[in-house]
Amino acid sequence: MSKSKSEEYADRIMPILSEQQILDNFTDEELRQVGLNMGYNIPQGTKFHDQPKSEKHDESATQSK
């Protein structure tokens, strides 16, 4: 099923981001504020990121801990 012209236009001006793209582009506090604005009760200091952005993801390192 192909997309309509309006759906194609919407995808170009407002692409759908993956969860990882969202995490890569927003801080924990920014994500917390979005959740609060949506009505969720999110405690201050909540961490949405597993690790600092500067580290590369390593499955074996996280599993051995």
**Taking 70 as the threshold, does the pLDDT of residue 54 lie above it?**
no
Report the 10 Å Cβ neighbour count for 10. 13
Q: What is each CA distance from 3 to 13, 14, 15, 52, 57, in whole angstroms?
A: 15, 15, 14, 38, 35
> Per residue in 16-50, pLDDT tens?
889 999 999 999 999 999 999 999 999 999 998 88
**Taking 80 as the threshold, does the pLDDT of residue 64 lie above it?**
no
Q: Which two tokens stand for residue 51?
A: 């690790």
Q: Which two tokens stand for residue 16?
A: 């759908």
pTM of the model: 0.53
Q: Which two tokens stand for residue 4?
A: 């309509």
